[in-house]
Amino acid sequence: LTSCGKGDSGTAAPGGGTTTMGFSQVGAESGWRTANTKSVQDAAKTAGIDLKFSDAQQKQENQIKAIRSYIQQKVDVIAFSPVVESGWDTVLKEAKNANIPVILTDRSVDSADKTLYKTFLGSDFVEEGRKAGKWLTEESKSEAGPVNIVELQGTTGSAPANDRKSGFAEVIGADPKFKIVASQSGDFTRAKGKEVMEAFLKSNPDIDVLYAHNDDMALGAIEAIEGAGKVPGKDIKIISVDAVKDGMQALADGKISYIVECSPLLGPQLMDLAKKVLAKEDVPARVVTEETTFTQEQAKKVLASRQY
Ligand code: GZL
């Protein structure tokens, strides 16, 4: 019998061929997303898994279409990062009825039925928001206030936007001197982050802090702040999330004040989980990624060694 599939380097699927994974990616909206896509694609190659990959341009209907096409193609396993938390039950039930296991990566869904996916691999976004709030509380401890904060939220309805908002609010809510004077979505992109920050600056003469849910929006906001003749990192302190290269550069340059890391390097763990699921091994319902935080001094030290 000749061995079917891509030679013996492949990971054997249940039927003996090479394992195929259908992956639906959110889009290409940020530096984080680009790094995440590279991690998934590189890890699939290393694992000998045949990856079918689609970019949804941040539209839920495109992700649902992609998942349906993976079901039609009878892939061995489906993985995706849900652009928003809600509206997945129908298509996930179709995958379950087709006996195709689903792995959530990066972002999660709000489905009550936890049997619709095997596991969720990704960061604890609420904790990321708490870390941002804790730094600001410490940084402002000698200030009487008010400390006026504007917030650039991530994509409306997405898990990172909901959870980073709630974690931050939970911590700063303990002290009435902190006032979130404006909060709006910048959709995780530089362009929208700049546009919304320009509006914030026009309607709020006295902004002390910007809390941006990702580096790309923070970098767009820096352009708006400088355009308004103010000094980012001095006139307006900036707290951001991700720690991608451009964000870390701005942190080292003093334009951003603090970054909470959110690791995009989920590829290797995703492939390991897929192999375990296909081998019918037990996997944890939740796998939380390791990540840290960076001050300006720490950014200067690690900048040269950052992978993305
Ligand atoms: C977080 C991820 C977010 C990043 C953004 O895990 O979903 O989406 O923080 C990206 O940069 O666009």
Complex ipTM value: 0.97
Decide if pLDDT at 10 tops 90: no
Nearest-atom number in ligand 1 for the CA of 158 is 7
Burial of 251 (0-12, 13-18, 19+ CB in 10 A): buried
Confidence of residue 7 (pLDDT cuts 50, 70, 90): very low
> What is the percent of the chain where pLDDT is above 70?
95
Best residue for ligand 1 mutational test, from 126, 131, 153, 188 (most atoms within 8 Å of Cβ): 188
pLDDT of 1: 33
Question: Which residues contact ligand 1 via a Cβ below 6 A?
Answer: 29-30, 32-33, 106-107, 122-123, 160, 188, 214, 216, 241-242, 262
pLDDT band at 16 (very low <50, low <70, confident <90, very high): low
- pLDDT tens-place string over residues 205-221: 999 999 999 999 999 99
pLDDT digits (tens, 9 = 90+) for 123-153: 999 999 999 999 999 999 999 999 999 999 9
CA pair distance 217, 30, nearest whole angstrom: 9
Mutate to test the pocket of ligand 1, among 165, 242, 290 (most ligand atoms within 8 A of CB): 242
Element (H, E) at 51: strand 50-55
Q: What is the mean pLDDT of the chain?
A: 95
pLDDT in tens, 47-80: 999 999 999 999 999 999 999 999 999 999 999 9
Q: Which of ligand 1's atoms lies nearest the C-alpha of 32? A: 11
pLDDT surpasses 70 at 260: yes
